[in-house]
Structure 1
Amino acid sequence: MKTRKNALVMLMSMVLVFTLALAGCSTNNKSEPATKAPAVNNGDKEAAPAKQTKPITVSMYDRGNIPPEIGTAEKNLWTEYINESVMVKYIPVPRWESVQKLNALLAAGDGPDLILDYDGGYRNQLFLQKQIMPIDDIIEQYSTDYKELLNEFPLLRQLGTKSDGKLYEFGRLLGYIPGGYLFIRQDQLDTLGLPVPETMEDAYEVMKRFASENKGSYATNLSGYDWMNTAFQNVTWVIENGEIVRDWDRVAAATSYKKRLFDEGLVDKDFLTDKNGEKALQDFVQGKTMMFGYSGNVLQVYNNYETLKKNNPSAKLAVIALPSSEFGQFSPYFNDPVQMTGVVNIKADDPQSVMKYVDLLSSKTMAHTLKYGQEGVHYKMEDGKEVTIDQEKYEKEVSWLGDFRMLGSQHIINEFTKYMDDLDQSDPFDKEVYAILEQAYKLYISKDRPLPEITKYMPGLPEDIQFIVSNANEPISDIWSRAIVGGSKVTVDKAVEDAKSIWKKSDGQKVEEFYANWYKENKDTWVFTKDLYDMSF
């Protein structure tokens, strides 16, 4: 690949996630950092000096990706950089076992002062268990940068406020970043002489025609990103007649559609064993799939298309709007434009220093530094744009900093549009990817084709209600899977009947009552999907 693309890989490496952030490893390495930590700029405003006598503790995801010569999750170039302003001891937690690790630390009385975790359910659990403190007062007394963000983006306060009316959660601003896509092989569509499908019935006809003329190939994927659920608005909770209700019609329609594709041999018969969608992705990049629902970041889109082109040089992709169903027309998900991420341990004995840390990491200056590195060391300015000086140095010292960017003004560098801007318009493939991404943004960030969910910010559930949901979800999901693969012996109508029975026996009515009461009390003040499209980042 071209040098330009290699630079882009490093600029976007921290996007990998949905996910969207990277952090450090947990080994002990006492080697000196590759670059001396620079003097710290305390954000865009100077906060009042904190009288700090010992380090605060902050959780940090451990992904095992910090180069050993740079340091460890506890001590590296950037922890030293931050410690020149606020004394901090980082507590590494395994990314995919963070809840277990944090619970163990809290139980032992060693919980971090500032707990940073993307799991909203877990943070709500900490609130219900009274393990975190309200932060209204410490923001009012000690904050500069974060307080300014709260005033500019009231949604930060609204989403961080719990049922007692107090603010408990810190968050970050991301802007709009598409995360789901529906691709179609434009070259195959042209060969068939068919237009882009506009309805789900159109899509069925296209897929059926493709499968009939391409034996051994798949019309679409049933594992990985489930674009059909989105198209049918199969999201469990919907608004009908001004009330929130548990839906059965949409899940029945989506299941019937998938069952038809399965029964007619248009999809992989073994899709249920493809738990993470990896086989579906490999089928796609090998050229075996016509319509492909995908969930990932822009770098992954680039790399997967590049692999497809290597395997099938004549392949040409297009990104399309999700076809409409009888329930409307919707778009794949995009990342939360405002995302809550952090809470303060009720036992934290220096909340002033915690606030100073949050202000530092929330500032626009720090957001820029943690994305590009230091000017003159990692990048230089050319024609008003940051240009990486040494790609290898950037990769070693900056590219893994995503999990330091869990607070504040991260919207100043939108990962999606930044990646597009960095594509090389003189390179034909880069230019083609740019057009695909531009079209995706236009199609999917649109009021005309909204997200299917009522809101991206469903309320945290009390423990007894969460228990009911957790117990019912898996057996009901199994019912839908059996209906899809069960042939004529298992009808969708019978599946709906069985699912309703499990829901009733699991006390699902209590969940419905909880949501009904919540919606009645919050429908005039909550942030719903329609409210997301008018934010100015």
Structure 2
Amino acid sequence: MRRKSIALLLGLLVTAMSASACSQNGGEASPSSSSASPSASETSAASPSAASPSAEPTDGPLTKYGTPINVSLLNKFNSNISDKLAPGDTIESNIWTRSIAEDLGINITYPWVVANEQYVDKLNVTLASGSLPDIMLVHDQQFKQLSDAGLLADLTDVFDKYATDLVKSDLGSLNGIFLKAASVDGKQLGLPLITDPTAEARVLWVRMDWLEKLGLPEPQTMDDVIAIAKAFANDDPDGDGKQDTYGLALNKDLFGGFPDINGFFNGYHAYSNSWGDAFWYDDGSGKLVNGSVQPETKTALGKLQELYKAGAIDREFGTKDGGMVTEDVASGKLGLWYGDYWNFVTPIQTAVVNDPNAKFKAFSLPSADGEPAKASVTFPLTGYWVVKKDFEHPEALIKLVNYYYEKKYGAEGKGNTPDNQQTFFSSADGKIKSSYVAPVWISGTLDPKTLSVIDAIKKNDPSGLNESYRTDYDNYIKGKEGDASHYGDFQNYDPDISPQLTRRAYADQNRLVVNAFYGPLTKTMESSNDALKKLQMETFTRIIMGSVSIDEFDKYVENWNKLGGDKITEEVNAWYATNR
């Protein structure tokens, strides 16, 4: 085992890894000191990694240790953090570290602190040295290598004993896929750093005043979508006597960004792309298949070709980026697209300011048949919190996660207090961002603000809302009463049309398809991905525009395999066999 561990750690030194994930606090950028305090490593070196054996074990999820314990911890912080902290605070000493010491009896020390973009390389050096911190944030490859070497603590029992119901519910959501991803051979070797998977699930946005003017029903099926697209392009929905509006919106990149045609493909049970990357899913045989080469994708492409020939897709879409399509919506030229739930902010808010008569609504993905359409999403896991094997207090990680959740969401997940929000996360004026220096954090899937405000609207009683939530409630009322500048607030929170409820229903109704491959690039991916992406984009665009027949798709599948797709499929399934 010693040889295996040393070989592993040396291997980590040369592992090339992406440092793109792990955005703190639900997508909010988390700046970090680009220059660590010179005393950081000195302070850590002077402190033992754990207290003496006299530190008493405790039973509660948030019970304070009778004798304080010291925990060495590594976390990533982004640059330019110093101007976002309260006067006198640093990464090493701040409201989080002081409160954790006071409330939990845990003294946090950092062996080193570097800027976010340097974290992975610096951590690899540390791992190669064999000097592991007690708790650390790692990425998928590091997690696998450390677990293979037997260097991680089994958290199964301490998670079961110490995690609060709120933490268990959130990390265990979506039938436990997150916790399974952080488990090896039935052992919980880490806690998953998760985000809300429904945040990127696409919805169908429709300009409702146009729909009503043309006397069309709300979209329930893909045939309805096709009919609406043709009518919006050809039947003068804006009433100006000109054929100057478009049907279904596309941009030159097709997938990802604004708009995103993935939702259209999902309506035909096709899962062709994931933010520019390949989408892999289990076809029911126990094997992963690439969605871009499946028959359902050919069906969806055929329907897009039909729309283009009917003039229901902008002839210039192949030259337009997301910004240009956004302007088309804002200027009243587009009223049908697949996009993000938050499009009520942009471009819809601008469209309503420009035309106060404009009304929009987000719909759940219509289906081409009786089977409900499922939204395709990337695997929403960006890292793992782990504990080194033989650390005396593995439950400390669980307590730190409990503490973060309570401060962020409240004990019952219904929202934090104004004091907690301003003290631990963001000051009222937004100048201080203490959330950036939370020692342990998980973005999670919860959204207490939206659900609390909507509940207050249903009850017509905002008395139970905290100050921040009450502001959103008041802005909703302004939008409801006709203030065009707050239409987005009305759209976001109105119980009858809120896109928040629409996208959240995907999870509740088991209507998500998660990209099942979340491992590192395979050998053939490294050499062939660019060529395969180019092949897909060029072929799909030519098919949509009618430059080639729909049968060109069959040639695409053949070429995809020849360019390495068949080999990648083998490699992906070899990974899947040990990571499902």
Q: TM-score, normalised by structure 1?
A: 0.69
* Aligned residue among 231, 234, 237 for 2:267: 231
The offset of 1:127, in angstroms, is 0.7
The offset of 1:249, in angstroms, is 0.5
1:21-420 → structure 2 map (5 Å cutoff): 21-27=28-34, 44-46=61-63, 48=65, 52=69, 56-62=72-78, 64=80, 67-68=83-84, 70=86, 71=89, 73=91, 75-82=93-100, 84=102, 85-89=106-110, 102-103=123-124, 106=127, 114-116=135-137, 122-124=139-141, 126-128=143-145, 135-137=152-154, 140=157, 145-146=162-163, 153=172, 155=176, 157-162=179-184, 164-171=185-192, 178-179=199-200, 180-212=202-234, 213=236, 215-223=243-251, 224=257, 225-226=260-261, 227-235=263-271, 236-237=279-280, 242-244=285-287, 246=289, 247=291, 248-268=294-314, 271=317, 277-295=322-340, 298=342, 301-302=344-345, 304-326=347-369, 328-332=371-375, 341-344=383-386, 348=388, 351-352=391-392, 355-363=395-403, 364-368=405-409, 391-392=428-429, 395-397=430-432, 400-401=435-436, 406-407=441-442, 414=448, 416-418=450-452, 420=454
Work out which structure has the larger RCO, using CA pairs closer than 8 Å and 6 or more positions apart in sequence: 1
Distance 1:319 1:91, change over 3 A: farther
For 1:365, give the aligned amino acid.
E
Distance 1:432 1:228, change over 3 A: closer
The offset of 1:63, in angstroms, is 6.0
Equivalence for 2:7: none
Equivalence for 1:434: 493
The CA distance in 2 between the partners of 1:287 and 1:65, in whole Å, is: 41
The answer to whether the aligner puts 1:475 opposite 2:531 as a matched pair is yes
Aligned residue for 1:319, secondary structure, equals strand
**CA deviation vs aligned residue, 1:321-378 (integer Å, no higher than 9, x gap):** 2221259432445797x95742437xx5883466414422324534447997776576
The offset of 1:272, in angstroms, is 5.5
The CA distance in 2 between the partners of 1:488 and 1:79, in whole Å, is: 61
**C-alpha contact 2:377 2:515 (8 A) present in aligned 1:** no
**CA deviation vs aligned residue, 1:76-115 (integer Å, no higher than 9, x gap):** 4334434553223286666678656655665677886544
**C-alpha contact 1:23 1:61 (8 A) present in aligned 2:** yes
**CA deviation vs aligned residue, 1:261-303 (integer Å, no higher than 9, x gap):** 445554455655666x34433433343321122225x5x6346
Aligned residue for 1:313, secondary structure, equals coil
Distance 1:375 1:264, change over 3 A: closer
Equivalence for 2:483: none
**C-alpha contact 1:23 1:60 (8 A) present in aligned 2:** no
For 1:312, give the aligned amino acid.
D
The CA distance in 1 between the partners of 2:140 and 2:305, in whole Å, is: 38
**C-alpha contact 1:443 1:449 (8 A) present in aligned 2:** no
Q: Which moved more, 1:426-435 or 1:266-275?
A: 266-275
* Aligned residue among 541, 555, 573 for 1:485: 541
The CA distance in 2 between the partners of 1:507 and 1:27, in whole Å, is: 41
The CA distance in 2 between the partners of 1:21 and 1:498, in whole Å, is: 40
Distance 1:45 1:99, change over 3 A: closer
Distance 1:216 1:412, change over 3 A: closer
**C-alpha contact 1:185 1:290 (8 A) present in aligned 2:** yes
Aligned residue for 1:202, secondary structure, equals helix
For 2:209, give the aligned amino acid.
D
The CA distance in 2 between the partners of 1:21 and 1:151, in whole Å, is: 23
Distance 1:319 1:101, change over 3 A: farther
Over the aligned positions, Cα root-mean-square deviation in angstroms equals: 4.8
The CA distance in 2 between the partners of 1:441 and 1:315, in whole Å, is: 21
The offset of 1:193, in angstroms, is 2.1
The CA distance in 2 between the partners of 1:215 and 1:104, in whole Å, is: 63
For 1:210, give the aligned amino acid.
F
Aligned residue for 1:116, secondary structure, equals strand
Q: Which of 1 and 2 has greater Rg? A: 2
1:435-514 → structure 2 map (5 Å cutoff): 435=494, 438=498, 441-442=501-502, 445-446=505-506, 450-451=510-511, 453=513, 456=514, 458=516, 460-461=518-519, 466-486=522-542, 487-506=545-564, 508=566, 511-512=569-570
Structure 2 stretches lacking a partner, 5+ long:
1-21, 38-58, 237-241, 252-256, 272-278, 456-468, 481-486
The CA distance in 1 between the partners of 2:24 and 2:168, in whole Å, is: 29
Q: How many residues align?
A: 472
For 1:281, give the aligned amino acid.
T
Q: TM-score, normalised by structure 2?
A: 0.64
The offset of 1:189, in angstroms, is 1.3
The CA distance in 2 between the partners of 1:316 and 1:305, in whole Å, is: 9
**C-alpha contact 1:94 1:101 (8 A) present in aligned 2:** no
**C-alpha contact 2:74 2:135 (8 A) present in aligned 1:** yes
Name the % identity.
Answer: 17
The CA distance in 1 between the partners of 2:120 and 2:298, in whole Å, is: 34
Structure 1 stretches lacking a partner, 5+ long:
1-14, 31-41, 381-387, 527-537
